[in-house]
A and B are shown apart, each in its own frame.
With several copies, the nearest count.
Chain A
Amino acid sequence: MAEKTFLDAIREAMSEEMRNDKNVVLVGEDIGVYGGCFGVSRGMLAEFGTEQMLETPISEEGFMDMAMGASMVGMRPIVEIMFGDFSTLVSDGLINHAAKYRFMTGGQVDVPLVFRAPFGSGTGAAAQHSQSLETMYTNTPGLKIVYPATPYDAKGLLKSAIQDDGPVLFFENKLLYRTRGEVPEGEYTVEIGKADIKREGNDVSIISYSRMLPVCLEAAAKLADEGINAEVVDLRSLKPLDTETIVESVKKTSRALVVHEAPVFGGFAGEVVSSIMESEAFYYLDSPVERLGGKEMPVPYNPDLEKQIVPVVDDIMESVRKMIKK
């Protein structure tokens, strides 16, 4: 298997699907000659031309809605926004339209649309270009949400998302773009709604997704040196959430720590905590489930602070150690 970057994996998934189906169209700003703000689509214009690469004006709300309109009559658009923060500009299309048209029409219409957006801090882009806004969408029936952490999962999940007949939000993290991992050459998909145990262990379940996953894995590796055997669960899909895998893991380990980049308060971890609370895993708990996430502030430009507001390896190790001592 070839080692590829997360970014290459995304490009490969799109390219394969676009080759298979001329109705798969990438829609977004500066995706053509420029190759996309982060270079995701670099080189694709040459192969797919303007028929499958729709370069848009700065009109996020409008092009999201246009893509959705097109998707109702045969297009299978992949809508890219430059920064996930601009979610605010497309939320009407996603929440009030894409998520609801199939339902409101009594099943007459499908919206096979993929929405791709890069989230996260760590690039010095400050408060309006660094957020993790998944909770804008996790409470919306009708949407599926995936948030991969590895190149393998990115490619497999993106292909599943493109093949899905409903709207799927595919969230990316900027700091993962250059990370590498094995990506098989052939066709494969990763099922939406299935978590993945990225490391097995018995002492504690560290449950995470996206950019925090490698941080959790690093913490787990270091904890192993201390004799603590952490299991690391990669949610991969936030909606639907693979409660079963979470519950099985926690039943085995009796402890759980949920980690994400978004601020703790109101963050997605609350859902994970509740899913444990409501399952039989609750009765297996040796200590309360804990959450680690971003601090309660907009992302600062100041790089010292920018680093301090998201959980780091030490924070995770410290939380786990305390939990185990209890």
Chain B
Amino acid sequence: MPSKGVGSIVSICFVIYRLFAGIEDIKKMPEEAMMAFEFGKKQSLETMKLMLTSRRFEEKVNEMFMQGLIHGTTHLGIGQEALHAGVSPALDADDWILPNHRGHGHCIAKGSTPYDIMAELMAVRDGVCKGMGGSMHIIDTRYKNMGSSGIVGSAIPLAAGMALQLKREGRKNVVCTMFGDAASNRGTFHEALNMASIWKVPALFLCENNMYGMSVPAKYSVSVEDIAVRAKSYSMESRIIDGNDVELVYSTIKEIADSMRENPRPFLLEAKTYRWLGHSKSDRREYRTKEEEAAWKKKCPIANFKVKMIERGFITDKAFDKMKAEVEAEIDAATEKCKGKDRVQLEEALNYVYSS
């Protein structure tokens, strides 16, 4: 995980600025102030490494599927790395996350190693869930990751409930749950956001609007242009951000989470992004155009951040390639390590059914 040193200081200044500025002032805030947040070198390098790890991990999972070495199904997050590398590093270690089914990158960013997760996908005992859960249920409580429910939208109230309990215990922690554009049409979204609001729980509802729920465009299924608008139904604050800008994601999450710690309340944050690959492995992507995909690939969070890093003198092409190769080697090694590892047997699995 990136150190929070340099970035945090900048970010805190930014938060203070925003806190003192009224809503009107924020609107009038000079461009420079809005643009003020930049990672320092160390954090930039760490962030880049995280994004590359997320991307490479998914590529590797894809390869493993093709080779029949992973079974079941999986939902890959390629294209959404700015969220992975921007969210969890902006949170405290004791803050919780609940990514959705497309969440491997978030899980790695919160602390699980590629090995922990790859082992789960390969259903061996070393997997975060001992091979019982698989891709849709990467839960790692060591790193306060309560993972995803395979029932789209059902983790939204789970997160709200966790936030409620943290608040009851007087902890200054927040719960951040990620869900898609399509999930915002579930009744659970409505019920959970209403209760989160009336009980003022520190839940950060992060809608990763990647424009599609499986094959269905949000433009068709979501009756409103910006999902953030739905916060009004719950007297809840909200904001819309470019989900492909890792510095913006980081600083926004940090600002909101820190403010929630002091003054517990929920927040709806909408991050616009795009998933490059199909919904799951069997998707032919007939529902969208190659042009649209190409346009979004131009907004690649990694490529764009790389340009900035080069501009700022934080990285060279060569150093970037080296980092990429290192990440690749690391993930290859983690994957190799999974092979031949033993799996949980029936007797042991029976122990997980009922609490003892």
Contact B287 A34 (CB under 8 A): yes
CB of A313 closer than 8 Å to a CB of B: no
Contacts known (A57-B195, A166-B355); A104 close to B137, Cβ less than 8 A = yes
Of A63-71, A205-213, A227-235, A277-285, which stretch is located at the interface?
A63-71
Could you say which of A150-158, A176-184, A266-274, A298-306 contacts chain B?
A298-306
Q: Are A97 and B154 in contact (CB under 8 A)?
A: yes
Contacts A65-B161, A70-B164, A96-B151 given; does A126 touch B134 at CB 8 Å: yes
Residue in B132, B154, B213 whose beta carbon sits within 8 Å of that of A65 in the complex: B154
Cβ of A112 within 8 Å of any chain B Cβ, yes or no, is yes
What's the Cα separation between A297 and B345 when bound, in Å?
13
A76 CB → nearest B CB, Å: 10
Tell me the bound Cα distance from A187 to B185 in angstroms: 39
User: Given contacts A109-B139, A144-B354, are A62 and B157 in contact (CB under 8 A)?
Assistant: yes
- Give the interface residue-count category, chain A: 35 or more
Instruction: Tell me whether A104 and B168 are in contact in the complex, defined as CB-CB below 8 angstroms, given that A59-B185, A66-B161 are known contacts.
Output: no
A interface SS class: loop
Whole-angstrom distance from the CB of B171 to the nearest CB of chain A? 9
Bits for A281-312, please: 1 = Cβ < 8 Å to B, else 0: 00000000000000111101111110010000
Q: Which residue of A lies closest to B139 (CB)?
A: A105
Question: B129 touching A297 by the CB < 8 A rule?
Answer: no
Chain A contacts for B355, CB-based, 8 A: 102, 110-112, 164-166
Report the minimal beta-carbon distance from B232 to chain A, rounded to whole angstroms. Answer: 17
Q: Which of B27-35, B141-149, B237-245, B266-274 touches A?
A: B141-149
Cβ–Cβ < 8 Å partners of B134 in chain A:
124-126, 301
Instruction: State in angstroms the CA–CA spacing of A111 and B146 once bound together.
Output: 13
A137 proximal to B (CB < 8 A): no
B344 contacts partner chain A, Cβ-Cβ < 8 Å: yes
Residue with the greatest number of chain A CB neighbours at <10 A, chosen from B159, B183, B216: B216
Q: Which of B96, B130, B149 contacts A107 (CB 8 A)?
A: B130
Q: How far is the CB of A37 from chain B (nearest CB, A)?
A: 8
Chain A CB within 10 A, most for which of B195, B213, B222, B343: B195
CA distance A102 to B198 in the complex (A): 30
Task: Tell me whether B308 is interfacial, beta carbon within 8 Å.
Answer: no
Cβ-neighbour of B195 out of A66, A89, A126 (below 8 A): A66
Q: Are B132 and A104 in contact (CB under 8 A)?
A: yes
B186 within 8 A of A: yes
How many residues of B are in contact with the other chain, CB < 8 A?
Answer: 74
CB distance from B347 to the nearest CB of A (A): 11
Residues in B neighbouring A106, C-beta threshold 8 A: 127-133, 344, 352
Closest CB in chain B relative to A301 CB, distance in Å: 3
Interface string of A209-243 (1 = CB under 8 A from B): 00000000000000000000000000000000000
B231 interface residue (CB < 8 Å to A): no
Residue of B nearest to A56 (CB): B195
Minimum C-beta distance from A126 to chain B (A): 5
| B150 in contact with A65 (CB, 8 Å) | no
- A123 adjacent to chain B (CB < 8 Å): yes
* B227 CB to nearest A CB, Å: 12
Q: In the complex, what residues of A have CB within 8 A of residue B356's CB?
A: 165
Chain B residues whose CB sits within 8 angstroms of the CB of A37 once the complex forms = 214
B165–A73 contact, CB under 8 A? yes
Complex Cα spacing A304 to B343, Å = 8
Say if the beta carbon of A33 comes within 8 Å of chain B.
yes
Contact call A65/B188, Cβ cutoff below 8 A? yes
Q: How far is the CA of A296 from the CA of B149 in the complex (A)?
A: 21
Q: A105 contacts which chain B residues (CB < 8 A)?
A: 129, 132-133, 137, 139, 141, 147
Question: Distance in Å from the Cβ of B180 to the closest Cβ of chain A?
Answer: 9
Chain B residue with Cβ nearest A69: B161
The reply to whether A68 and B161 form a contact with Cβ atoms under 8 Å apart is yes
8 further A-B contacts with Cβ under 8 Å, apart from A58-B213, A127-B133, are A29-B213, A58-B185, A63-B191, A69-B146, A74-B169, A86-B151, A104-B139, A123-B72
Interchain residue pairs with CB less than 8 A apart (23)? A29-B214, A57-B213, A61-B191, A62-B187, A62-B188, A66-B157, A72-B162, A74-B165, A92-B151, A96-B151, A97-B149, A103-B132, A104-B139, A105-B141, A106-B352, A108-B141, A123-B72, A124-B71, A141-B353, A166-B354, A300-B131, A303-B123, A304-B123
